[in-house]
Amino acid sequence: MIRTLLAAALLAASTVVAAAQSTGAAPAIPALRANVSVSADIVRIGDVIDNAGDAGSIAIYRAPDLGTTGTLPATQVIAALRAHQVIGVDTRNLTDISVTRLSRAIEPKDIEAGVAEALQRRNGLGDARDLELTFDRGLQTLQLDAANTGALRPVSIRLDPRNNRFDVTFEIANGGDTPTRLRFTGAVVDTVEAAVLTRSIDRNELIKASDIIVERRPRVEVGRDGATRDQTVGMQARRQLRASQALRISDVARPDLVQRDQAVTIIFQTSGIYLTIRGKALESGTEGDVVNVVNLQSKRTFPATVIGRGQVSIANPHPVVAAAAPAPVAVAANDHAQDRLSVSRKAE
C-alpha cells in the first residue's frame, strides 16, 4: 500500500515537473497558511495550503463554531494532507495554523432596538426609545452563518393589550431559499422621563435643584401630567411629598409671594394716581392669586390680587381710603408712619 502511494505521489510530482518544464515555469509548491478563515462548517485542503491543485476541495476537518477561532498543529495538518496524497508541502516553519469560522454577529442591543421599533405606537405605546423591554430569555450575542446578510425584518408582531406581552418574529435573508427566523417573547413597559425627588418635601416647601433627579418611570405611574425638572425646580410643594416620588404638575405650584399674616403693601394704580397703604394678608397666595387682606388703618377686609413679593393690588380703592382722607393732591410719603396713606399724583 505504501509503495502504491509513493508511486502515485512520484507520478504526480513528475507530472507537475514535466508540465512546468514544458511551459518554462517553476513548479508551484504547496505551502501551509498561518491564518485561515472559512465560512462553511468544514475546512478543506484548499483552505489550509496555497497551490492545492485538484485536491483543494477535499474536506479534512470540521470548522470551529460560528464566530470562534481554533488552532491546528502543523504536524497534524501535514499528516492529514499526506492521507490524501498531498506531499512535499512547505511548512514555512509554522508550528500551528489558526482557523477562524466567519459569522454574522447580532448584538443584544440590536435585537432590543429591533423589537422596540416593531412595537412602537402599537396599542397606545410610545416611541421605541420610550419602551422598556424584558425578555423571557436573557439576550446574548447571536452568531449566524456569514451568508445571513439580510436586514432584521419583523414578519410577525403580537402584543397583548391586557398585559403588554409581546411575541415578535424576524426573518433574515441568507442568500438561500429559506430565510433564517428569530423569535423573541417578553413584556414591554411604556416609560417617560420624570422628575423624581431625592428626599421628602414638606407642604409649602420650595424644591431645589439638588432635590430632583431625572429617571425613566412607567407612564402609568407618572400619568399624563408628569412634571419635568424645569417644571419643578424653584416651585413650591402643594402637599407633603415623599422621597423617590415621581412628580406631577399638580404636585407643585408657583411659590407664595404673600404669606398668611404677613404685612403687605396694598396698591391701587389708575390713570394719574398711585396709592399705597399698609395692610396684612389673611391668606397665602402666589402671583395672580386673589387673597383677603385687611387695611390696618380702616380695619376693613377686602380681596386683592397678589402682584409681587409682599405686594397686592386692588381694582377699587374705595374700601382702603379712610373717611378723613386728604384731597388727591401731591403728598410726600411718610416712611415712618406705618398706617398713613401715601398718595401721589402723576404728572399729566
Classify domain 30-101 by CATH architecture: Sandwich (2.60)
**Which is higher by pLDDT, 135 or 28?**
135
Q: Are 260 and 283 in contact (CB under 8 A)?
A: yes
Length of the chain as a residue count: 348
Residue 261, Cβ density class (10 Å: 0-12 exposed, 13-18 middle, ≥19 buried): exposed
Look at 23-32, 159-168, 232-241 and tell me which has the smallest mean pLDDT: 23-32
- The grid coordinates of residue 289 equal 392669586
In degrees rounded to 5, what are phi and psi of residue 184?
A: -135, 135
In this prediction, residue 254 has a pLDDT band, given cuts at 50, 70 and 90, of confident
Cα gap 151→126, rounded to integer Å: 24
- The residue whose grid cell reads 424576524 is 170
Task: Please state the domain extents for the chain.
Answer: 30-101, 106-188, 192-253, 263-345
Task: Over range 83-94, report the average pLDDT.
Answer: 91
Beta strands 96-101 and 35-38: pairing type? Answer: parallel
- CATH fold label, 263-345: SH3 type barrels. (2.30.30)
Q: What is the pLDDT of residues 289-314, one digit of tens each?
A: 899 999 998 899 999 999 988 999 98
Confidence of residue 317 (pLDDT cuts 50, 70, 90): low
Instruction: Please tell me which residue, 347 or 19, carries the higher pLDDT value.
Output: 19
Residue 274's pLDDT band, with cuts at 50, 70 and 90, is confident
Query: Is 333 within 8 Å of 278 (Cβ atoms)?
Result: no
Per-residue pLDDT at 341: 42
Using the predicted structure, report yes or no on whether residue 119 has a pLDDT greater than 90: yes
Domain 192-253 fold is Type Iii Antifreeze Protein Isoform Hplc 12 (3.90.1210)
- Is-contact 189 132, C-beta < 8 A? yes
Q: Would you place residue 229 in the very low, low, confident or very high pLDDT band (cuts 50, 70, 90)?
A: very high
**Is residue 333 classed as helix, strand or coil in its secondary structure?**
coil
Mean pLDDT of the chain: 84
| 17 vs 30, higher pLDDT | 30
Among residues of the chain, what percentage have pLDDT more than 90? 64
Tell me what the mean pLDDT of segment 193-212 comes to.
Answer: 94
